Amino acid sequence: MKKYGITIVAMIFALSTVMMAQQPQRPNQKARQGERKEMRQENKEKLTPQKRAGYMAVDLELTDAQRKKLEVFFEKQDKQREEHRAEMAKLREEQLKKAEDMRKANQAELEKILGPEKFAQHKAQVADRQAKIAERKGNNAKHRAGMMQKRNQK
Protein backbone atom coordinates (compact mmCIF):
# COMPACT_ATOMS: atom_id res chain seq x y z
CA MET A 1 0.00 0.00 0.00
CA LYS A 2 2.85 2.31 0.88
CA LYS A 3 4.41 1.74 -2.57
CA TYR A 4 1.19 2.80 -4.29
CA GLY A 5 1.04 5.97 -2.23
CA ILE A 6 4.63 6.91 -3.11
CA THR A 7 3.99 6.15 -6.78
CA ILE A 8 0.86 8.33 -6.82
CA VAL A 9 2.66 11.23 -5.12
CA ALA A 10 5.54 10.94 -7.63
CA MET A 11 3.10 10.94 -10.56
CA ILE A 12 1.25 13.99 -9.22
CA PHE A 13 4.57 15.80 -8.77
CA ALA A 14 5.69 14.92 -12.31
CA LEU A 15 2.33 15.97 -13.78
CA SER A 16 2.34 19.29 -11.91
CA THR A 17 5.88 19.98 -13.12
CA VAL A 18 4.87 19.36 -16.73
CA MET A 19 1.78 21.56 -16.33
CA MET A 20 3.82 24.43 -14.89
CA ALA A 21 6.32 24.18 -17.75
CA GLN A 22 3.52 24.60 -20.28
CA GLN A 23 2.10 27.81 -18.80
CA PRO A 24 1.43 30.29 -21.63
CA GLN A 25 3.45 33.48 -21.62
CA ARG A 26 1.75 36.70 -20.71
CA PRO A 27 0.54 38.79 -23.67
CA ASN A 28 3.22 41.05 -25.15
CA GLN A 29 5.96 39.32 -23.19
CA LYS A 30 7.79 38.46 -26.42
CA ALA A 31 7.54 42.08 -27.58
CA ARG A 32 8.86 43.35 -24.26
CA GLN A 33 11.76 40.91 -24.42
CA GLY A 34 12.71 42.32 -27.83
CA GLU A 35 12.51 45.89 -26.49
CA ARG A 36 14.73 44.98 -23.56
CA LYS A 37 17.28 43.46 -25.90
CA GLU A 38 17.34 46.61 -28.04
CA MET A 39 17.75 48.78 -24.94
CA ARG A 40 20.67 46.67 -23.75
CA GLN A 41 22.37 47.01 -27.11
CA GLU A 42 21.85 50.79 -27.22
CA ASN A 43 23.25 51.34 -23.74
CA LYS A 44 26.12 48.98 -24.24
CA GLU A 45 29.38 50.86 -24.48
CA LYS A 46 32.05 49.72 -26.90
CA LEU A 47 34.91 48.20 -24.99
CA THR A 48 38.34 49.38 -26.02
CA PRO A 49 41.13 46.85 -26.42
CA GLN A 50 42.66 48.22 -23.21
CA LYS A 51 39.47 47.67 -21.20
CA ARG A 52 38.97 44.19 -22.63
CA ALA A 53 42.57 43.28 -21.79
CA GLY A 54 42.11 44.79 -18.33
CA TYR A 55 39.03 42.71 -17.63
CA MET A 56 40.74 39.54 -18.78
CA ALA A 57 43.87 40.40 -16.77
CA VAL A 58 41.80 40.72 -13.60
CA ASP A 59 39.71 37.60 -14.27
CA LEU A 60 42.66 35.43 -15.21
CA GLU A 61 45.27 37.10 -13.01
CA LEU A 62 47.59 37.86 -15.94
CA THR A 63 50.98 39.53 -15.78
CA ASP A 64 51.60 43.00 -17.22
CA ALA A 65 53.43 41.47 -20.18
CA GLN A 66 50.47 39.22 -20.97
CA ARG A 67 48.12 42.18 -20.61
CA LYS A 68 50.15 44.25 -23.11
CA LYS A 69 50.17 41.34 -25.57
CA LEU A 70 46.40 41.05 -25.17
CA GLU A 71 45.98 44.75 -25.91
CA VAL A 72 47.99 44.38 -29.12
CA PHE A 73 45.99 41.26 -30.04
CA PHE A 74 42.65 43.00 -29.44
CA GLU A 75 43.75 46.06 -31.45
CA LYS A 76 44.73 43.79 -34.35
CA GLN A 77 41.42 41.95 -34.02
CA ASP A 78 39.43 45.22 -34.11
CA LYS A 79 41.35 46.39 -37.17
CA GLN A 80 40.65 43.10 -38.98
CA ARG A 81 36.97 43.33 -38.08
CA GLU A 82 36.70 46.88 -39.46
CA GLU A 83 38.49 45.90 -42.67
CA HIS A 84 36.14 42.95 -43.08
CA ARG A 85 33.08 45.16 -42.55
CA ALA A 86 34.33 47.65 -45.13
CA GLU A 87 34.99 44.84 -47.60
CA MET A 88 31.51 43.40 -47.06
CA ALA A 89 29.91 46.83 -47.55
CA LYS A 90 31.84 47.26 -50.81
CA LEU A 91 30.74 43.80 -52.00
CA ARG A 92 27.13 44.59 -51.11
CA GLU A 93 27.26 47.81 -53.13
CA GLU A 94 28.77 45.98 -56.11
CA GLN A 95 26.10 43.28 -55.95
CA LEU A 96 23.31 45.87 -55.78
CA LYS A 97 24.76 47.69 -58.79
CA LYS A 98 25.09 44.43 -60.72
CA ALA A 99 21.49 43.47 -59.91
CA GLU A 100 20.26 46.90 -60.99
CA ASP A 101 22.17 46.62 -64.29
CA MET A 102 20.68 43.16 -64.89
CA ARG A 103 17.18 44.46 -64.15
CA LYS A 104 17.60 47.32 -66.61
CA ALA A 105 18.94 44.98 -69.32
CA ASN A 106 16.04 42.58 -68.78
CA GLN A 107 13.54 45.45 -68.95
CA ALA A 108 15.07 46.66 -72.22
CA GLU A 109 14.95 43.17 -73.73
CA LEU A 110 11.35 42.68 -72.59
CA GLU A 111 10.39 46.01 -74.15
CA LYS A 112 11.94 44.89 -77.46
CA ILE A 113 9.94 41.66 -77.34
CA LEU A 114 6.59 43.18 -76.30
CA GLY A 115 6.78 46.51 -78.08
CA PRO A 116 6.23 49.90 -76.45
CA GLU A 117 2.42 49.66 -76.08
CA LYS A 118 2.30 46.18 -74.53
CA PHE A 119 5.33 46.97 -72.37
CA ALA A 120 3.56 50.05 -70.98
CA GLN A 121 0.52 47.89 -70.28
CA HIS A 122 2.75 45.31 -68.56
CA LYS A 123 4.38 48.01 -66.40
CA ALA A 124 0.93 49.26 -65.35
CA GLN A 125 -0.11 45.73 -64.34
CA VAL A 126 3.09 45.27 -62.33
CA ALA A 127 2.56 48.63 -60.61
CA ASP A 128 -1.04 47.59 -59.77
CA ARG A 129 0.11 44.33 -58.25
CA GLN A 130 2.79 46.08 -56.21
CA ALA A 131 0.25 48.62 -54.95
CA LYS A 132 -2.13 45.83 -53.91
CA ILE A 133 0.66 44.02 -52.10
CA ALA A 134 1.71 47.20 -50.33
CA GLU A 135 -1.91 47.89 -49.38
CA ARG A 136 -2.33 44.35 -48.08
CA LYS A 137 0.84 44.66 -46.02
CA GLY A 138 -0.36 47.99 -44.68
CA ASN A 139 -3.75 46.52 -43.79
CA ASN A 140 -2.07 43.60 -42.06
CA ALA A 141 0.05 46.00 -40.02
CA LYS A 142 -3.03 48.06 -39.13
CA HIS A 143 -4.92 44.90 -38.20
CA ARG A 144 -2.06 43.69 -36.00
CA ALA A 145 -1.82 47.10 -34.33
CA GLY A 146 -5.55 47.07 -33.63
CA MET A 147 -5.34 43.58 -32.16
CA MET A 148 -2.43 44.63 -29.95
CA GLN A 149 -4.42 47.61 -28.67
CA LYS A 150 -7.40 45.39 -27.85
CA ARG A 151 -5.12 42.94 -26.09
CA ASN A 152 -3.49 45.73 -24.07
CA GLN A 153 -6.86 47.11 -23.00
CA LYS A 154 -7.89 43.76 -21.47
CB burial of 71-81 (b: ≥16 within 10 Å; e: otherwise) equals beebeeeeeee
pLDDT reported for residue 5:
81
For the chain, give every domain's residue range: 43-114, 115-154
pLDDT reported for residue 111:
92
152 pLDDT more than 70? no
Whole-prediction pTM: 0.46
Q: Higher model confidence: residue 4 or residue 27?
A: 4
139 pLDDT more than 70? yes
pLDDT reported for residue 41:
59
Q: How far is it, in rounded angstroms, from Cα 72 to Cα 33?
A: 37
CA atoms within 13 A on the CB side of 119: 11
pLDDT reported for residue 9:
80
Q: Higher model confidence: residue 145 or residue 87?
A: 87
What type of residue is 24? Answer: P
Q: Tell me: the pLDDT tens digits for 76-134?
A: 999 999 999 999 999 999 999 999 999 999 999 999 999 999 999 999 999 999 998 88
Helix axes 64-114, 49-60, angle to 10 degrees: 130
Q: Tell me: the pLDDT tens digits for 21-73?
A: 665 555 555 555 666 666 565 666 788 889 899 999 999 998 999 999 999 99
pLDDT reported for residue 25:
57
Q: How far is it, in rounded angstroms, from Cα 61 to Cα 67?
A: 10
